[in-house]
Chain A
Amino acid sequence: MKVTEAVKLLEAEVLCGDTEAVDIFTACGSDMMSDVLAFVKEQACLLTGLVNPQVVRTAEMMDIKCVIFVRGKKPDEDILSLAMAKDIVVLRTDKSMFSACGALYSGGLRGGKLA
């Protein structure tokens, strides 16, 4: 799925990055970066309600190309600058974690295999 499609499904705002350039194959929803580092394996997008630069760092280490902040959370300029430097697309949606995951699942995205 192109990130552009995810933007529509989530009624999301694009905060940075080229949504046409990035494909996502699976998704992971977590506020615990330790779990993301432990379990996500395939090229995924990350849905989180946690807002700090380590979300972007975690995405960078895991080759995650798209981060979606849920529950209307708004990352600051420092976080967005870091994401831009790492070529990571950042979206923001007012949907809850549950609803956002559900919307992406309904759109055809599935959870990946656990590492």
Chain B
Amino acid sequence: MGIKLKYEVDGEDFTRAGEASGDIKKTLKKLGFPPETVRNVAIAVYEGEINMVIHANGGEITADLSEDGITVVLADKGPGIPDIGMAMKEGYSTAPDNVRALGFGAGMGLPNIKKYSDGMEIDSVVGEGTTIKLKFLPKQ
């Protein structure tokens, strides 16, 4: 088994944020990945997808699925993260009030992504964009 999935995330439409994560979740479930793995991937990718829409005007998500593990790359051409250390702290958020009114921007996005994944690499350049690579190991 080796499946590659690719999604364009629309940065203009908040209501559609989560479609890619939902589809990845459905695919993993269909392929028979363990429920905990399916949930961890879904939550981490959903947080990343929401971040793309809130902060970066969209981006691209690719997922490589195999029995040995799942790799997800979230890439955007947004403003970049000036201080990754701060962004990783629970409660730190640069989201504006209109985003908080939608139920996000509590400063839990990146910490959550780290919590639910088995490996996380962030590569961000201010003014150019951010790429987050996530690794998940199937849990029985």
Judge if B92 is at the interface, Cβ distance under 8 Å.
no
Q: Which residues of A contact B43 (CB under 8 A)?
A: 37, 61-62
Q: How far is the CA of A86 from the CA of B22 in the complex (A)?
A: 9
Judge if A94 is at the interface, Cβ distance under 8 Å.
no
- Mask for A7-31, Cβ within 8 A of B = 1, else 0? 0000000000000000000000001
Q: How far is the CA of A31 from the CA of B101 in the complex (A)?
A: 9
Chain A residues touching B, range: 20 to 34
Q: How far is the CA of A34 from the CA of B112 in the complex (A)?
A: 9
Q: Which residues of B contact A38 (CB under 8 A)?
A: 106, 108, 111-112, 115
Q: Which residues of B contact A78 (CB under 8 A)?
A: 15
- Mask for B41-55, Cβ within 8 A of A = 1, else 0? 011001100100000
Judge if B59 is at the interface, Cβ distance under 8 Å.
no
Q: Is the CB of B102 within 8 A of A57?
A: no
Q: Which residues of B contact A58 (CB under 8 A)?
A: 18, 46, 103
Which of chain B's residues 2-37 have a Cβ closer than 8 Å to chain A? 14-15, 17-18, 21-22, 25, 35
Q: Which residues of B contact A48 (CB under 8 A)?
A: 103
Known A50-B102, A61-B46; further 17 A-B contacts with Cβ < 8 A? A33-B104, A34-B104, A35-B108, A37-B108, A37-B112, A48-B103, A50-B103, A52-B102, A53-B18, A54-B17, A58-B46, A58-B103, A60-B25, A61-B25, A78-B15, A86-B22, A115-B115
Q: Which residues of A contact B (CB under 8 A)?
A: 31-35, 37-38, 48, 50, 52-55, 57-58, 60-63, 78, 86, 115
